[in-house]
Amino acid sequence: MSNQQQPVKMWSGRFREPLDAEFEAWQRSIVFDWQLLNQEIAASKAHASALAAAGIVNAVELAQLRAALDAIAAAHASDAGKAEVRDHPSAEDIHHFVEMKLVERIGLLGLKLHTGRSRNEQIATDLRLYVRTQIELVVEGLAAWAAALVEQAHAAHDAVMPSYTHLQRAEPVLVAHWLLAYVEMVLRDAARLRDCAARLNYCPLGSGAVAGATLALDRTIAAQELGFTAPTANSMDATSDRDFVLEYLQTLTFVGLHLSRFAEEITLFATAEYGFVILPEAFSTGSSAMPQKKNPDLTELIRAKVGRIHGAAQAVTLQLKGLPLSYNKDMQETQEPAFAVGFVPQMLTLVARFTAALTFNRERMNEAAQSGYLNAMAAATYLVHKGVPFRTAHEKIGNAVRFALEKGVELGDLSLEELRAFGPEFAEDFFSAVTLTATLDCHDVTGGTARRRVRNALDIATDRIASLTAFRAWEAAHAGS
């Protein structure tokens, strides 16, 4: 290890006065960008490879640099090691920390690594690597939740529940059909994340501070080593681009919204007023005052988390608004929102296990699906098949519903004589047309709740979810394309 000390700051050559102590502490980013240590190590190794190809370091020096960088990563992999990075007394940021540790290990060669690069491109690269990894984790979590939804849908078989519009009972649907609605949301979320990953997968290394590296670096070397599709096309854009952070956060807002909608329905369905769902005790808590309570803490917390995710997206939107090209210190503030949503993969893992543990009260749901005139649409369709225009059929069935309400019975309980008071088209086959199974199966269209359609949709959903579990392989296949 060299006895020669490195400069106190990475940029201090032209300055005579020290920083204001309070300002220095206030502007340091190591307190949060320590989370980019692994990305900084990977990017630094890739840059070292590019320097070796350009003849700036020789093969022995390259080996020393890469070994020292690996040793730094290993030394700080534990919780105690991470705390050492976060609480370092003098490092400005993660780049400064790694450089100081390199000098401690291999002397002045550690300072040579910064040749031909700027912190502006380093942080842009580190953040892309971080977001890319987080996207992988989120997609895997989405796949786990989707698989749990499909597993419950298979288990539900032909169980029926009421669907709702305006929170009023509308028509009966299969429980599996309801669950598959959330699968569709999950698959859209995963597609958005894949799109985001594809767009961010370009390497800023070699962009310099703003105008490009001053050395003739082969930028494809670092890009390929880090699994990027290619180098970025414009140095000014590369160092100032945080679109990928904002797009990632906005996409996570959709994930949060869909989780929140599911959490809201489960919370409602678990109430005594609905009684459709039995909450798993492993994901519920009791009341400190009321002994009988079983509270839906997991769904309530999930419902609230979307606020944090949306807040992070809004923060980055406002941070980027009006920034001139190229890099500005404002961009340091885009990091914390990206880190602030790091809870999403774990949240998805929990909701997947919670979903798998749910128990449905089929008898209560079936009873609810057969009361409240949920077969009125099927009844109107029956008249359409008899040649009655739909608007007329709608009016006839509406009158029949009003009569049944006054009598306190369901449509299927009216006599044929009573029905014929609303039109001569009613016949004995009306009663078979408004049974629960007939009401389900009249929705025999792609995407409908007819039993055969839902069985087919389950098979298709299973195949689509299987593709999500292969996301890592998908990303690897696209990294060098």
Q: Of the candidates 475, 478, 479, which has an alpha carbon nearest to the alpha carbon of residue 190? A: 475
Contact 425, 387 (CB under 8 A): yes
Helix (H) or strand (E) holding 360: strand 359-360
Catalytic residue, from 12, 78, 90, 287: name it: 287
Catalytic residue, from 166, 288, 415, 481: name it: 166
Between strands 202-203 and 230-231, the pairing is parallel
Task: Name residues whose C-beta falls within 8 Å of residue 422's C-beta, 6 or more positions apart in sequence.
Answer: 396, 397, 399, 400, 403
Catalytic (active site) residue 47 = no
Q: Of the candidates 469, 479, 381, 464, which has an alpha carbon nearest to the alpha carbon of residue 180? A: 464
Give the single-character DSSP code of 164: E
Catalytic (active site) residue 432 = no
Q: Hunting for tokens 């980055």 — which residue is that?
A: 316
Backbone angles phi, psi at 162, to 5 degrees: -80, 145
Task: Name residues whose C-beta falls within 8 Å of residue 6's C-beta, 6 or more positions apart in sequence.
Answer: 99, 100, 103, 110, 111
Backbone angles phi, psi at 242, to 5 degrees: -130, 20
CA dist 298 → 167, 183, 284, 347, 434 (Å): 22, 20, 7, 9, 39
Contact 239, 212 (CB under 8 A): no
Polymer length of the chain: 481
Q: What residues are labeled active site? A: 166, 287
